[in-house]
Amino acid sequence: MATTHDPAEDDAAHHKAMLAKAETLTEALPYLQRYAGKTFVVKYGGHAMGDPDLAQDFAEDIVLLKAVGINPVVVHGGGPQIGRMLKALGIESKFVDGLRVTDKQTAEVAEMVLAGAINKELVSWIARAGGKAIGISGKDGGMVIARKVEAKKAPKAINDAESGETIVVDLGFVGEPARIDTTVIDTITGANMIPVIAPIGVGEDGETYNINADTMAGAIAAALGAARLFLLTDVPGVLDKERRLLTDLTPADITRLAEDGTISGGMIPKLETCVHAVEAGCEAAVVLDGRVPHAMLIEIFTARGAGTLIRA
């Protein structure tokens, strides 16, 4: 049986859909005006990279930011990927307070995976989305001079089970940025390309240092005086005890949330990084859900936003 079809109805539906698209763009207008010419540092974690759809969405978002006149600077992680490579080589991964205990061989593997495989994979994703990226590590152009992170007290999980004593662990070649020279970033951005940075630095001693990717991104955001530091993770943002999203936090709020145990685990160093960044020159930091497609665009270009905004 033939179905009837009213072309006028089609037109109305089409018109409505087009109008919704136009409204999305006009809603974005004030944000486009506000952010043109500004620098956004985006930390993309190793967990989010496993999913090719998310990686493609992420690359599209970065290319879109560039196309509307924002300067995105990507800093990536790759903890799970380093772990897999170490395992394949028969080396066990050990973490103390969220930092990988890094002997000489582990530092070599970390550099190979981060500055080699992952860095170039991200450059390729951005190229596929129509952007031009340059992949570098903190070593390039003398960008990040690292200092050794001092020995840490091991947490309960790896306390000496027999004696019950807390063990002090030398983290080896784990670094934090001591000095940052942004010349190489400015040069890449100035050439209208997107810097993609692996969290590896070089020490005054000439050694290679493995740097936590959140820490690296925060230090770079501060050095650049970035308008935003985005930390993409695997939760909707910072949650309260009832697991409701906290949309705005100050450094004082964060101290309180750490003291009353609302935040724990990996969220503590992540928020410490945000606090350090906003107190050292970055305008605001945002913790947001890297599992949500285009979370960054929603946060930047809509009134509602997404994630948790941290401001000094």
Ligand X SMILES: Nc1ncnc2c1ncn2[C@@H]1O[C@H](COP(=O)(O)OP(=O)(O)O)[C@@H](O)[C@H]1O
Ligand Y SMILES: CC(=O)N[C@@H](CCC(=O)OP(=O)(O)O)C(=O)O
CB 45 within 8 A of CB 232: yes
Closest separation in Å from C-beta 32 to ligand X: 28
Cite the annotated binding site for substrate by residue number. Answer: 78-79, 100, 210
Q: Which residues, including other chains, have CB under 8 Å from residue 205's CB and lie 6 or more apart?
A: none
260 binds ligand X (CB under 6 A): no
Nearer to ligand Y, 174 or 285 (CB): 174
* Footprint (CB under 6 A) of ligand X, residues 177-216: 214
**Which residue has the CB atom at the shortest distance from ligand Y?**
77
* Interacting partner of 174 out of ligand Y, ligand X, none (Cβ under 5 to 8 A depending on kind): ligand Y
Looking at beta carbons only, is 48 or 184 nearer to ligand X?
48
Spatial CA neighbour of 41 closest among 12, 73, 15: 73
Q: Is residue 78 a contact residue for ligand X (CB under 6 A)?
A: no
CA 18-54-82 angle, 5° bins: 165
Contacts with ligand Y by CB under 6 A lie at 45-46, 77-79, 82, 99-100, 110, 174, 199, 210-213
Q: Which residue has the tokens 């930011």?
A: 65
Which of ligand Y, ligand X, none has residue 266 at its interface (CB below 5 to 8 Å by kind)? ligand X
Q: Does 264 bind ligand X (CB under 6 A)?
A: yes
Per partner kind, with CB cut-offs from 5 to 8 A, the member of ligand X, ligand Y, none near residue 234 is ligand X
Task: Please state, in angstroms and rounded to a whole number, the distance separating the CA atoms of residues 298 and 276.
Answer: 25
Which spans of this chain sit near ligand X (rule: CB under 6 A)? 45, 47, 214, 233-235, 238-239, 262-267, 270
